[in-house]
């Protein structure tokens, strides 16, 4: 497994990433089969978070950050909402090879998601990524 322990490159995130596993936290409890889709327009990194709830209903949330505001592997996306209820979400890429997987979280080192370029992955591949997450200090005993 190749790691991104070198300089983080947001340009390599472009495209779809499928949430294949996560430990439990409030944002993900409501969402299964989450997809994060990244694109770049000018100096802006855009994210569309596509969520399917337990009833099969889909929703899309869109956020943005300027590439110049990215610090290391940490991005703060602003999600615009109705009636001025904007939300800023911290998105940390803890590890990635950019082509097959990434381990992401919100910066608290308690919650994480394993994302894949493929919507379906093999169990042996997933077990290897879980081992990497465990080595980084994440509790993988509660992943779903």
CA-CA distance, 8 to 32, in Å (whole number)?
A: 27
Q: What local confidence, expressed as pLDDT, does residue 2 receive? A: 37
Q: Is 141 among the domain residues?
A: no
What is the mean predicted confidence (pLDDT) over 68-82?
89
Mean of the per-residue pLDDT values of the chain:
83
Q: What is the CATH number of the domain that holds 119?
A: 2.40.128.20
For the stretch 4-52, pLDDT in tens is: 456 889 999 999 999 887 654 444 445 656 899 999 999 999 999 888 7
CA-CA distance, 139 to 134, in Å (whole number)?
A: 6
pLDDT classification of 106: cutoffs 50, 70, 90 = confident
Distance linking the first and last C-alpha atoms of the chain? 22
**Cβ contacts of 2 within 8 Å, gap of 6 or more:** 97
124, 131 contact by CB (below 8 A) = no
Structural domains of the chain, count: 1
Q: What local confidence, expressed as pLDDT, does residue 23 receive? A: 58
Q: What local confidence, expressed as pLDDT, does residue 53 receive? A: 74
- Residue reference for tokens 């889909």: 58
What is the mean predicted confidence (pLDDT) over 93-115?
89
Give me the domain span that covers residue 49: 10-135
Q: Is 140 among the domain residues?
A: no
Q: What local confidence, expressed as pLDDT, does residue 84 receive? A: 67
Bridge partners (DSSP) listed for residue 18: 35, 116
């Amino acid at each position: 497994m190749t790691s991104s322990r070198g300089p983080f490159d947001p340009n390599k995130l472009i495209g779809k990433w499928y949430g294949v596993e996560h430990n439990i936290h409030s944002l993900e409890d409501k969402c299964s089969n989450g997809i994060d889709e990244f694109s770049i327009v000018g100096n802006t990194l855009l994210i569309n978070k596509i969520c399917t709830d337990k009833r099969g209903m889909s929703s899309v949330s869109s956020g943005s950050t300027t590439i110049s505001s990215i610090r290391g592997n940490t991005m703060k996306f602003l999600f615009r909402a109705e009636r001025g209820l904007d939300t800023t979400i911290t998105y940390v890429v803890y590890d990635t090879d950019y082509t097959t997987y990434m381990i992401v979280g919100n910066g608290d080192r308690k919650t994480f998601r394993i994302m894949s370029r493929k919507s379906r992955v093999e169990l042996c591949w997933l077990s290897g990524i879980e081992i990497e997450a465990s080595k980084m200090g994440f509790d993988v005993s509660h992943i779903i």
